[in-house]
Structure 1
Amino acid sequence: MTETEPRVLVVDDAATVRLYHTKLLTDAGFQVAEAANGLEAVEAALGTPFDLFVVDVNMPKMNGYACVETLRSETVGTAAPVVMISTEDRPGDADRAYAAGANLYVVKPISADRLARIARMLTAGRSVAA
Structure 2
Amino acid sequence: MTESPPKVLVVDDAATVRLYHSKLLGDAGFHVAEAANGLEAVEAALTTAFDLFLVDINMPRMNGYTCVETLRSETVGTPAPVVMISTEDRPGDADRAYAAGANLYLVKPVAADRLVRVCRMLTAGRGDAA
TM-score, with structure 1 as normaliser:
0.93
1:26 aligns with 2:26: yes
The answer for the alignment partner of 1:79 in structure 2 is: 79
In the other structure, the counterpart of 1:93 is: 93
| Conserved? CA contact 2:70–2:76, under 8 Å | no
- Alpha-carbon shift at residue 102 of structure 1 (Å): 0.2
> How far apart in 2 are the matches of 1:29 and 1:105?
23
Aligned to 2:84, the other structure's residue is in SS state: strand
Unaligned runs of 5+ in 1: none
Distance 1:35 1:77 in 2: 18
The 1-side partners of 2:23 and 2:77 are apart by 23
The alpha-carbon deviation at position 4 of structure 1 amounts to 1.6
State the distance in 2 between where 1:111 and 1:27 align.
15
Three-state SS of the structure 1 residue aligned to 2:121 is: helix
1:51–1:81 CA contact under 8 A, matched in 2: yes
- 2:60 is matched by which residue type in structure 1? P
Q: In 2, are the aligned partners of 1:45 and 1:77 still within 8 Å (CA)?
A: no
Give the paired residue count: 126
User: Take 1:106 and 1:69, find their aligned partners in 2: how far apart are those partners?
Assistant: 18
For 2:125, the aligned partner's letter is: G
Identity %: 84
TM-score, length of structure 2 as denominator length: 0.93
